[in-house]
Amino acid sequence: MMRSVASILWRRLDLEGHDACLLSDSGLLSESGRPSETGGGRSLRGQALFVQDGKPCSIAYEVTCDAGWHARSARIDGFLGTQDLHYAIERLADGGWTLNGERQGEVAGLIDVDLGFTPATNLLAIRRFDLEVGMSTQAPAAYLTFPELRLVRLEQTYRRLDEARYAYAAPMFGYDEILKVSPAGFVVDYPGLWRGAAHLA
């Protein structure tokens, strides 16, 4: 059974919109009361509502991971204007990825998935790498573009500055900013794009 761990509501800064997300954990508890890395899994489940190209957009999404924060799958369902959106992403046992059942060669071998319409999925790399202060890492992800809805390779880097801040860069977008992160791993300040309006843990 999934146990709710943390939740957040974001306000979008570059467009009119909001996004709410719930982090859940089905991992076994260790003696310390923290989730065990040997069993169970995690999920991010949310709803993004925003204006895209002047059209109303509503997207429900869910991302599942194993206990070590390795992505397993993602689903999005909703609409953009009058267009229905239904997409399923799977990471296969051989390291490949599929989008609605079709192999996506460009992202083969990657571990993280990043959904382009929500800040929720940054949490996956933040939690998986669990960087010490001063450490940095490359974190390429299988990125679902929006509104094109294609899976492409997104090069990213994270460098942990202190307990709550990361220097983050995504050269494909010319983005290089300082992210502020909650104890649960949600980005609460994503300069120019998103800002947390309320969060628990």
- What is the pLDDT confidence band of residue 4, given thresholds at 50, 70 and 90? confident
- How many angstroms separate the Cα of 41 from the Cα of each of 24, 31, 64, 100, 105? 9, 18, 7, 23, 26
Mean pLDDT of 55-81: 97
Confidence of residue 40 (pLDDT cuts 50, 70, 90): confident
Tokens of 61: 């999404």
Report pLDDT for 29: 42
pLDDT in tens, 132-144: 999 999 999 999 9
Average of per-residue pLDDT across 170-199: 97
pLDDT(101) > 80? yes
- What confidence tier does 35 reach under pLDDT thresholds 50, 70, 90? very low
Query: Which of the four pLDDT bands, split at 50, 70 and 90, describes residue 201?
Result: confident
Whether this model's pTM surpasses 0.85: yes
Mean pLDDT of 139-156: 97
Q: What is the pLDDT of residue 24?
A: 96
Q: What is the mean pLDDT of the chain?
A: 93
Q: What is the pLDDT of residue 1?
A: 64
